Structure 1
Amino acid sequence: MALTLDIITIGVPQVAAARAFYASTFSAEATGTDDGHTAGLDLHGTGQLDLRQIEALATDSATTPATSGFRGYVLSSIVTRPAEVKALLDAAAEHGATVVKPAKKEFFGEFAAVYRAPDGAVWKLAAATKKDKDPVPDPPKPTETAVFLGVAEPKASKVFYEALGMRVDRDYGDKFIDFTIADGVCRLGLLPHKALAKDAGVDDQGDGFSALVLTHTATSRTEIDNLVATATSAGAHITTPPTETPQGTYTAHFTTPDNHHWKLTTAR
């Protein structure tokens, strides 16, 4: 039993508009999840992005949809070359994103850029290498998709996620921690809230619903029951206990001690 980040769900004002933006920016294909309230996109095998109407997502998470300012997370798409960062940033801007930080070499040598999507989500684009040695693929495809959460103390949050079976990859104490990933899932990282906002180039003030839900797809009801029990013992707040849904799935919701929202569900 180990928690994995299988689906990133963003709450958006208009699902169709958000789907058009992300499909165009990432050249992403639909997953088949599209019921008018939710649309799913495959991020080239690096995880799944779901777009859900924000009021519906808040209802699912047993909270209110009001949100303002920095939402406490940054999404990230990692590509191979700096030119791919530029290409993805240009595509995002062309389809309505606001450039927060232009594509350039950062202080510690990372080549990166940041934009704010039309739905309000902040995205960081980063290159795994520093030079353009080969032609840029068309379209650029991410080698990894990640979500970085702003937390009070990364070391304390690490203990929570380790209790749920996640294994640490890089550990820099209360500066930065992330977890190992498997093929087809997203990476999870932890930074202090203010440091995360500073790295993204945005103000760290914000309030209300994050409009972000992280989903683990379980293999059985028993797995969900066990994860719920473990999460509760580790300090989570169960917002929706394990329940059979009208769609035939077995689902639960909880918030972490840092108030980030998770969903546990069985596949249909």
Structure 2
Amino acid sequence: MNAIDSITLEVADPEAAARFYSAAFGLDSSRLGLRASEAPTTGFRGFTLSLVASQPGDVDALLTAAVDAGATVLKPAAKSLWGYGGVVRAPDGTVWQLATSKKKDTGPVTRDFDELVLLLGVEDVKAGKRFYVEQGLTVAKSFGGKYVEFDTGSGAVKLSLYKRSGLAKVAGVAPEGTGSHRLVIHGASRPFSDPDGFVWEAAEPSRA
């Protein structure tokens, strides 16, 4: 295993979710799988998805489109030490970070983004790092027990691990949560669950 082929969100209403993701982010079933689920889940689900754009104007355009499509703003877009970004919660409950490392626009504003990043909030970053290295992933960046970024090559989705409490703070939500993550990750050579209960499947997802 050296890449994530795709991800599937488990949602109450796949058709409604598909309409939202198409309108908000231009994502269709070729990039984001959706699966019907009523699995109990409360509070923070332990992960966020991040769209990394080229410039602040693109972040604003994505955030505006998301809100117009029904998302809730958790953090308004603002400048920070690392760049510019905001956070929204989709109607299905998934938390999305919209961000760029740039602080000024250098071209026409669009709703395009360069990367789709999955950030898993884990209790023990170092243990999670060891686990995923054992599964065949290569570490690209590591900052002690706070953050790990893996080299997923040309995979459709980038993968990072973040301390759960830290990721919740970044997302603007309380860290407490129970039940299903409502997330399935595809790309493993065999099905497994990681130490924090995130589920990996080998097969390609069925698309909504």
Question: What is aligned with 1:82?
Answer: 56
Question: What is aligned with 1:169?
Answer: 140
Contiguous gaps of at least 5 residues in structure 1: 31-39, 43-47, 56-64, 218-223, 229-252
Matches within 5 A, 1:228-243: 228=190
| Alignment: residue pair count | 206
Percent of aligned pairs sharing the same letter: 39
1:94 to partner: Cα distance = 0.2
Contiguous gaps of at least 5 residues in structure 2: none
1:266 to partner: Cα distance = 6.2
Residue deviations 1:169-191 (CA, integer Å, cap 9, x gap): 11101111111132242111101
The SS at the match of 2:187 is strand
Conserved? CA contact 2:2–2:152, under 8 Å:
no
Query: What is the rounded CA distance, in whole Å, between the counterparts of 2:78 and 2:205 in structure 1?
Result: 41
Amino acid at match of 2:123: A
- The answer as to 2:131 corresponding to 1:156 is no
Rg (Cα) greater in structure: 1
- The answer as to 2:110 corresponding to 1:111 is no
Question: What is aligned with 1:68?
Answer: 42
Question: What is aligned with 1:197?
Answer: 168
Give the alignment's TM-score, normalised by structure 1: 0.73
The SS at the match of 1:124 is strand
Give the alignment's TM-score, normalised by structure 2: 0.94
Larger RCO, structures 1/2 (Cα 8 Å, 6+ apart):
2
Question: What is aligned with 1:254?
Answer: 192
Query: What is the rounded CA distance, in whole Å, between the counterparts of 2:204 and 2:152 in structure 1?
Result: 20
Amino acid at match of 1:76: S
1:135 to partner: Cα distance = 1.2
Matches within 5 A, 1:1-268: 2-28=1-27, 30=28, 40=29, 42=30, 48-55=31-38, 65-106=39-80, 108-137=81-110, 140-216=111-187, 224=189, 228=190, 253-265=191-203
Q: Which runs of 4+ in 1 moved over 4 A?
A: none
Amino acid at match of 1:153: D
Query: What is the rounded CA distance, in whole Å, between the counterparts of 1:203 and 1:190 in structure 2?
Result: 18
What root-mean-square deviation, in Å, do the aligned CA atoms of Structure 1 and Structure 2 show? Answer: 1.7
The SS at the match of 1:104 is strand
Query: What is the rounded CA distance, in whole Å, between the counterparts of 2:99 and 2:172 in structure 1?
Result: 14
